[in-house]
Structure 1
Amino acid sequence: MNAGKVSAVMTANPITVSPQTPFKDIAQLLTGNGISAVGVVDKTGALVGVVSEADLLPHLWEERKPRWRDRRLARKATACVAKDLMTSPAVTIDVEATLAAAAAQFAHSGMRRLFVLRNGKVAGVVSRRDLVAVFTRGDSDLEREVSERVLRDQLGLGPDRVRIEVRAGIVTVVGRVERRSDIDPVTRLIQELSGVVEVRNRLDYVWNDVA
């Protein structure tokens, strides 16, 4: 599992409902499971919408058919099943997307959660809190992954050539590589790891193979 992908931080197999699931059942699922939304899937398993707490709140309006410009909200005030309550289309992200892509999606959409798809079907759900949580990762754990997984296994660089230091999620890389073109992959691969706040690449090189 790639630590820099959405699949590493999502909640797998989230609760979903059918388009005909009653209002009360949805309310019970949300409160009973401590979640803020459920996905709505059709008979083929495709995600057709999302019902969140916000979609249920119009039922508490004193006037069930307020003179709002937004007819969609007015309709939800009297909706009884998921297909009339849901927000559609759902904002989604692919299971193989990077955490950086997920962060950008959150910023662009303003959503609190994204349903995660694998081959078009619901595989999980990821929240903004899930992304923030990756930065609580310990420096020693991160340093070990950078040294072993990235430098040694992926790039074939031992401590005799490249050394790292991790403080508060900031990874500093020093040493010397054979070619100048070997430097950028070090930064890119480290940035893909969860918990990395910044990469300070101070590598030198023996010869310049970049035009």
Structure 2
Amino acid sequence: MLFIQTLWQRLGPVASRPSWKELARSSIGVGLGVALACLLVVLADYVHPHLLFLFAPLGASAVLVFAVPSSPLAQPWNCIIGNSVSALYTLLLLWVLPFLPHTVLATLAVAGAVALMLLLRALHPPGGAVALMMVLAAEQLLPVDWLLLLPVTMLSAAVVAVGVLYHRACGRSYLQHSLAATKTQRPSTRLALSEDDLQQLLQRFEQSYNLTPEDLGDLLAAAEEDAIKRRMSSVNCGTVMSSTLLTIGVKTPLEEVAELFHRHLIKSLPVVDNQGELIGRVLRADLFDWLWQDHHARQQQTLWKRLRNKSAKEQSTAKDLMRMPEMSVQEDTPMGDLLQELASHDVQFIAVLREKVLVGVITRSDVIRTLLALNQ
């Protein structure tokens, strides 16, 4: 019994069970791709009988395009060029060395097709099947001569075209950027790894034809975020927050607000009411803009206008520059729930509330300090 269990663990399925949504999406896509190929064959028969015909490796290409669209092996270049170059090479082989036994031709055809696909960066497993099919059916196919390239290329392109439209309609990513385009177009990954670093990792573990650098970067970044979130799930915002608060009211004069910014290295100040409830915030940048505009206006005013407007300036308060609160959480909120917000928003601080009363704030420095403490 133990032997059978061990054997099953080693030889049994390694892929996870697909969801019903994934199962339906893949099978429907394959059906649509093959259906279009069949339709093209039927329509071509009206113009030129036997010009196009279905070939078995096309089904394998459809499986890759619709079931594993993110794989480099399933990309349009690999599918179309991989199948086409395999067919072209095999035709040349049959034309130059027709006297060789089928077993030798089959060996040379598949091995050469794989070598050419690798050289062209167009490795596509069904391409090997295309080469073998043409050798095994040489007697039936050779009378068609070089027109054999037409069904292989056209029907492969048809499956790819359906794949592009189908995956776009399903909101799923299919088309991957080439390595050169990725280096110039794609923004840097959230990891401290360049595209070259990711590519070297794929080559190190011999996964270059299973994942793209973009996929690997997304997987590593997601794993890192989940690991950090799990470590921080036991820490709530009330533990991390800074409870020593600097707050102002709506009637606090802007001169006093400027003095607070001058004495403390902070970028914003929370505005609270008489009950301590958070009602807004004032940014250092907004205050500097106000001071500059006021100074610029005063430079252009006459002495009489300055004296007349002096009382109005003295009445400027925090209410004149106050913005709405940017982000707030309850003090029992797990810190792990904030990571995505902090990663996607450039917030000055996160207000921590006890019901509606402000009891503390969390800055990026507080988060970094917590992460360092958890990693020790």
Q: TM-score range by the shorter chain?
A: 0.5 to 0.7
Q: CA deviation at 1:13?
A: 3.8
Query: What is residue 168 of structure 2 aligned with on the other side?
Result: none
Separation of aligned partners in 1, 2:343 and 2:316:
32
Residue type of the partner of 2:279?
V
Question: What's the CA shift string for 1:76-96, capped at 9, x where partnerless?
Answer: xx8921111111134212111
Q: How does 1:8-87 map to 2 (within 5 A)?
A: 8-58=239-289, 59-61=291-293, 63=296, 80-87=316-323
How much is the aligned-residue C-alpha RMSD, in angstroms? Answer: 2.6
Query: What is residue 371 of structure 2 aligned with on the other side?
Result: 135
Q: CA deviation at 1:109?
A: 3.1
Separation of aligned partners in 2, 1:104 and 1:21:
34
Q: CA deviation at 1:14?
A: 0.9
Q: CA deviation at 1:130?
A: 1.0
Indicate the SS of the match to 1:131.
helix
Residue type of the partner of 1:111?
V
Separation of aligned partners in 2, 1:81 and 1:14:
20
User: Normalising to structure 1: TM-score of the pair?
Assistant: 0.53
Separation of aligned partners in 1, 2:333 and 2:286:
27
Residue type of the partner of 2:362?
V
Cα distance change, pair 26–36 in 1 and its aligned pair in 2 (3 A): same
Separation of aligned partners in 1, 2:265 and 2:285:
15
8 Å contact 1:48–1:90 — kept in the other structure? no
Name structure 1 gaps, 5 residues minimum: 65-77, 143-168, 170-194, 196-211
Q: How does 1:157-176 map to 2 (within 5 A)?
A: 169=375
User: Normalising to structure 2: TM-score of the pair?
Assistant: 0.31
Name structure 2 gaps, 5 residues minimum: 1-232, 298-312
User: Identity percentage over the alignment?
Assistant: 26
Query: What is residue 163 of structure 1 aligned with on the other side?
Result: none
Higher relative contact order (CA 8 A, sep 6+): 1
Query: What is residue 149 of structure 1 aligned with on the other side?
Result: none
Q: CA deviation at 1:29?
A: 1.4
Query: What is residue 96 of structure 2 aligned with on the other side?
Result: none
Separation of aligned partners in 2, 1:43 and 1:9:
25
8 Å contact 1:15–1:39 — kept in the other structure? yes
Q: CA deviation at 1:31?
A: 2.1
Number of equivalent positions: 127
Separation of aligned partners in 1, 2:363 and 2:319:
23
Query: What is residue 116 of structure 1 aligned with on the other side?
Result: 352
Separation of aligned partners in 1, 2:348 and 2:278:
18
8 Å contact 1:113–1:125 — kept in the other structure? yes
Separation of aligned partners in 1, 2:260 and 2:323:
17
Query: What is residue 180 of structure 1 aligned with on the other side?
Result: none
Query: What is residue 237 of structure 2 aligned with on the other side?
Result: 6
Cα distance change, pair 44–102 in 1 and its aligned pair in 2 (3 A): same
Select the structure that is richer in helix.
2
